Every structure is written in C-alpha cells, then in structure tokens.
Amino acid sequence: MQSRSEQHHGERDTEQTLGASPAVKRRVVRMWTEAGIAAIKALPVILMVFSLAGILGWVERKGSALIQDRIGANRASIFGFAGAGLVNTLFADPLKFLTKEDIIPLRADRLLHTLAPCVSLFPVLVTFAVIPFGDVLQVGGRTINLQVAPLGIGVLYVLAMASLAVYGVVLGGWASNDRFSLMGSIRGSAQMVSYEIGMGLSLVSMVMTYGSLDLQEMVRAQGALIGGWIPAWGILYQPVAFLLFLCAGIAESKRVPFDLPEAESELVSGYFTEYSGIKHLMFFMTDFVEVTVVAALVTTIFFGGWQLPYLGRDGFHFPWGASLMLPQVIVAVLQVLTFMAKVFFFCCFQILIRWSLPRFRYDQVMRLGWKGLLPIALLNVLATAVIVLAFQG
Amino acid sequence: MGPILFCVFAVLLISSALGVIVNRSPVRSALSLVVTLFLLAVIFLFLDAQLVAALQVVVYAGAIMVLFLFVIMLLNVQEDRQIMTRLGMRAGAAIIGALFLLGAIRLLIHAPSAAGGGMTGATPAGFGSTERLAEVLFTRYLLPFEVTSVLLLVAIIGAVVLAKRSLE
Amino acid sequence: MTTVPIDWYLILGAVLFTIGVLGVLVRRNIIIIFMSIEIMLNAVNLVFVALARQLHSMDGQVVVFFVMTVAAAEAAVGLAIIIAAFRNRQTLNADELSLLRW
C-alpha cells in the first residue's frame, strides 16, 4: 500500500479496488478473519452477561430474603423440585414476562414506546466490547487478544455508552404518556447526567496513573508487583478514585441508595411503569446488566481485571523463587475464571449495598453528585497530576 | 468495499438529517438528530479520527441532545400542525436549497484534491489518536483552549441565570 | 476507507449543510430551527475532519474539538433563552416572537 504513488487520482484507486489486486484481496480476507474472530469472542461474552444477569435476579431475591430473615420466592416448582427459588426465578418469571400481554397506553407514541426498552438495553450490552476478560489465547499459531474490540480509546467508549444509556430513561418516561413516569424519567436522567461527570473524572485520574486509555493496557499494567510482593492493583494507587467510581456507578445504574427514579414505594416503577411483558423484562434486564457493567469496570480498573497474582503467561512465578509452568490454554482459562469470580463478587457486593442502605432523597442525590463527588474528583485529579509529574521528573 | 460502505452510511445520514427537518413531532426530530450524530461519529471513524468520534458521541449525542430532549419534555412541545406555514414556501425552499447546494459544492470541489498526503497515502503513526491531538492542542492551541474554558464558564453562568424562575 | 476520494466527503458535507439551511428557513418551531443549526455545525465538522485526513494534519481535528465545545456552550445558553422566552410569551413559534421587530 505504501508503494502506491501519491499521483493516483481517487477514481483510479476505486477501480483498482474493484479490480482486486492480490494485496487488496489479502487485506480483505484478513479483515473478514478479524471480524470473524471478534464475533466468536463476542458470543461467549454476551452469553456470560445474560446468564449472569439471570443468576443475579436469583441472588437478589434469595439474598434479600436471607438479609431480611424471610424465605423469599419458593412457590414455583417442577414436580416438587423447587431448587431454592431457582425454578421460580429462572423459569417461572421469564415465562411469565414473555407471555404477558403487551399494553401500549392510549395516547402514547407507539414507535417510541417500543423503541425505549431497546435503546435502554443496547448501550449497556455494547459496553462489554471493550472489557478484557483474559490476557491472550495462543492457539493455532495465532495470538488472540481476549477482548472483543481492542480500541485505543477504551475508556472514552465506556463513557460514550454511559451517556447513551440516558436515552432509554428519557424515552421510557416520555413515551408512556403518564405524568408519574415522566417525573421518574426526568429525575432519573438528571441523576444519570450529574453522576456521569463524577464517573468521568474518577476515570481521568486512573488514565493518568496508567498513561493509557486502553483497558487491556491498564489490566496488563496491574500485573506488575510492588516491592516484588504486592500486586500493583489500581485500588492501591487510587483508593479515592475507587470510592468515587463505585458511588457514581451505582448512581448511574439507579440502584439503591440512588433509586428514587424507580422508587417502588413511591412511583410504582418510575419510568417503566407503563411497560408490561417483554418490554418490562428488557428494562429489568438493563438494571442487572448495568450492575454487571459497573462490577466489570471496577474489577478491570481497580482490582486487576483478569490478573491472578503471580500468574504470568507461561505459569506461576512466585516471589519466593518457586515457579509452576502451565500450558498457555490453562493460564487463559484461569484468567477468565478469575475475572468472572471478581465480577460476581462485586455484583453481590452491590446487591448487599442495595439491601442495607435506605434511599436518598432526590435533593440529597443531586447535592452529593455536584457538591460532593465533583469537587473531590477534581481534587483527586489535581493530586494525581502532581504525583505523576513528581515521579516522572 | 470502502465506497459501498460509504454510500450506505451517506444515504442513512442524509435520510436521518431530512428526518430532523421534516418531522412534525419535535421529539422525533430530536431522535433523528441523535441518529444523525451517531452516524457522523461512524464516518469520523472512517476518516481515522477516533478521539473526535468518541467525543462526538459523548458530547453531542450524549449530552447536548439529552439537553434538547429535556427542554422539549419540560416545555411539553406539541406537534406542529403543518411544517411550512406560508404559501409558496415549498417552491421557495426548493429553489433556495438547490442554489445553495450547487454553490456549496462548487466552492468545496475546488479544494486541492491531491494536496498534502492525499486520502490514499498512509497517515503518520497514531493519526487521530488521543496522544497526537493532545500534542497539538496543548502546544500550538493552548490559548484557544484556555479561552474556551472561560467561554464554558460564562455559558454555565448564563444558562443558570437565564433559566432561573426569579432572581430574588 | 481511504479508497473513497475526498470529494465525496465534501459533497456529503455540503448536502448536510444545505439540509440544515433549509431547516432554518422553512420550520417555524424554534427548537427545530436550533436543531438545524446543529446539523450545519456537524456538516462543517465533517468537512474539517475529511480535510484533516487529506492533508495529514491534526489541526483539522483540533478545530473540530473547539467547534464541539462552542456548540455545547451555545446549545446550553440558547435553550435557556428559549425556556425564558417560552415562559414570557407561551409560544415557540418564531413568527410570534417578534417583539424586537420594527
């Protein structure tokens, strides 16, 4: 490609492409191969996310029952086997959602009413494209980076998808033609927009610490060892940013204690009151997928992602000198399992927070976002900048 | 491959832009504009401008358009009964539109087509990435950058003052 | 994507700009007029990015950065003005907001 001289006019290049010289053919084949590999990587990620969202529904119901000293869902059973509420949550509830009648309110905008759940679910699912779930997989002479889309601007992509998530809320409330849904949606979107800033600024300090916007680079940098013993996870460098990001993330996904937009005791279901059946299921899924997204991001940026301490690409290298060689495939599997375990831990952590804390009032939410998180995040950025410059100079 | 993809996105872009000016309901116009901005971000990716594409989605599609939708919902803007209210306006709009388009195309096509590196030449390493943009932004364009931050401060204060219900 | 000649991007930018101009001229709802202005700004952004790619210069993308920032500031203040005007005149029709016309 570099040998082509600059004098070729645009039209000549088009003809050459359609005529398909061997160099161009190879490029096209390589492009389709890479797209195919990305698609194959995306499939297990999507399956993992959906199954995790389903399991989280069960953890939520049974876990909350445990915390509140009651039994929880246990009525649905197949031939007497109730599976501790699994049959109820994983079979009965989805069946109920899928077979319910789809009601669109009388004067609501039909197109927007159908579009809102899709617009709500799409950005949160697509965020998983940049989250690395493993290091590399060396198979068939090819080194596959275990991240669906190796974007150089990974963190910005996450922020972009977080911004797009507001549309589901905005449209959901508006398209219901219901003043209480509209109130819930305006509160919800104002809250989401306010906490995006805190989230963005806490990520800025992490970007400064690691010097890269690419999430896979950040995770790889956390494989280093401080003093030869302690894994250099993000939380050790930036505990304040971790707290800010966790707080902002929970506020973004409108979970308790920030769930006034969907306060069950006040607004029925807030902005998705007027949705039934599959649309309600999609909004509900968005909630759990957002929990997974926040957990995955916290794991990736602050807790080492897929890094298992002392595990390198070829096996364990313990700091006291011992080492254990493992085939690369086993290492990759271990790393993926580590990632999933950490994500599951943080999902359960968020569910624990939900059932322990009371709900914030709306003005308290706004005050915390603008007068609390924003100044602290800015000071954190300033302090990080000073320290990074001091260590570089 | 390239031209086909470009044509597909160009057609989608023009139809969503037309959707903005033709829709009677302001909410649907706003959503058409969001789609337009998103498609433009994709075209920026074709042009090796990754940071600008990400910023387009974060700033334009994710913040400015949400603000538009807020205002439309707050003011409860109703559907326009008809989008062109004066007689003869359709003919006038068509003529002005055609003249303007021809003039704009004539002006732009006289831009140097083979100057610089050209569209087919390989770009310098990391073209369009955050690092390259930051290098230029914080050295040669530092003064406009600082002035822009003051501008944003003024805009925040202005917006708050203008939209407050009363000043006492 | 580099096999697409620059002229195609410039024509696309011109078409988008014209659509924006038509929106400003034809529609009477102030918010739609404002959205058409945003289309015009984005058409200009497209031309800048295309020429930046043509000339291999990051300056075009820096200008786009500034245009986006200014557009954000303008949108905030403009929408605040629209809200204030609506509170006073109860109308969003540009023909009826004619107090300053002589």
CB proximity C46 to B under 8 Å: yes
**pLDDT higher than 50, residue B48:** yes
Phi and psi for B129 in degrees, rounded to 5?
-85, 170
Whether residue A37 is predicted with pLDDT greater than 70 in this model: the reply is yes
pLDDT, average across residues C34-57 = 93
**Considering its fold, how many domains does chain A have in total?**
1
Token pair listed for B82: 């008809």
Are C52 and B49 within 8 A, CB to CB? Answer: yes
Q: Which residue do the tokens 């390239």 mark? A: B2
For range B75-81, the mean pLDDT: 78
The boundaries of the domain holding residue A143 are: 21-58+78-392
Give the pLDDT score at B9.
95
How far is Cα A224 from Cα A233, in angstroms, rounded to an integer?
8
Are A4 and B120 contacting, i.e. CB atoms less than 8 angstroms apart? yes
Residue A12 lies in a domain: no
> Tens of pLDDT along A72-130?
777 777 777 667 777 777 888 888 888 888 888 888 888 889 999 999 999 999 999 99
Residues A274-325 have pLDDT tens digits of 888 888 889 888 999 999 999 999 999 999 989 888 888 888 888 888 888 8
Residue A5: its pLDDT value, please? 41
| pLDDT attached to residue A89 | 77
Q: What is the pLDDT of residue C102?
A: 67
What pLDDT score does A372 carry? 93
Q: In this predicted model, what pLDDT tens digit does every residue of C69-95 receive, in sequence order?
A: 999 999 999 999 999 888 888 888 887
What subunits touch chain C, counting only 3 or more CB pairs under 8 A? Answer: A, B
Poorest-confidence range of A31-35, B90-94, B129-133? B90-94
Q: What's the pLDDT tens digit per position in B54-72?
A: 999 999 999 999 999 989 9
B129: left (phi over 0), alpha (psi -120 to 50) or beta: beta
Q: What pLDDT sits at residue B87? A: 61
Amino acid present at B142: L
Work out the number of other CB atoms within 10 angstroms of the CB of residue C39: 27
Q: Which residue has the higher pLDDT, A381 or A361?
A: A381
Question: What residues of A are in contact with residue C4 (Cβ under 8 Å)?
Answer: 10, 14
If you average pLDDT over residues B121-126, what whole number do you get?
A: 75
* Nearest chain A residue to C1, by CA: A14
Which chain B residues are within 8 Å of A112, Cβ to Cβ? 27-28, 31
Who among B115, B128, B162 is closest to C80 (CB)? B162
Taking each continuous run of H as one helix and of E as one strand, the counts in chain A are 14, 6
Question: Sign of the CA dihedral B2, B8, B11, B14?
Answer: negative
Higher pLDDT, A176 or B1: A176
Report the alpha-carbon distance of residue B74 to residue A153 in Å, rounded. 35
Distance (Å, whole) CA C24 – CA C18: 10
Domains and CATH numbers, chain C: 6-89 (1.10.287.3510)
A17 contacts chain C (CB < 8 A): yes
Residue B108: count of CB within 10 angstroms of its CB: 19
Residue at A4: amino acid letter: R
Mean pLDDT of chain A: 85
Residue A6 pLDDT grade (very low, low, confident, very high; cuts 50, 70, 90): very low
Preferred mutation among C38, C53, C92, C96 to probe B, highest tally of B CBs within 10 A: C53
Is the pLDDT confidence value at A2 over 60? no
The domain locations on chain B are 1-80, 129-168
Tens digits of per-residue pLDDT, A53-62?
A: 888 988 888 8
Helix (H, G, I), strand (E, B) or coil at A280: helix
Q: Highest mean pLDDT: which of A315-324, A351-360, B29-38?
A: B29-38
Task: Say if A129 falls within a structural domain.
Answer: yes
φ, ψ (nearest 5 deg) of residue A123? -65, -35
Report the candidate in A43, A134, A129, A49 with the shortest Cα–Cα distance to residue A338. Answer: A134
Cβ atoms of A192 and A169 within 8 Å: the answer is yes
Band (pLDDT 50/70/90 cuts) for residue B122 is: confident
Q: Does domain B1-80 have CATH number 3.90.660.10?
A: no
The DSSP code for A152 is: T
The region of weakest confidence among A197-201, A277-281, C12-16 is: A277-281
Q: Does the distance separating the beta carbons of C21 and B68 come in below 8 Å?
A: no
Residue A142: which pLDDT band, with cuts at 50, 70 and 90? confident
Q: What is the pLDDT of residues A208-262, one digit of tens each?
A: 999 889 999 999 999 888 887 888 898 999 999 999 999 999 998 888 788 777 7
Complex prediction ipTM: 0.92
Phi, psi of C81 (to 5 degrees): -65, -40
pLDDT-based confidence at residue C100 (cuts at 50, 70, 90): confident
For residue A352, tell me if it sits in a domain: yes
pTM, two decimal places: 0.89
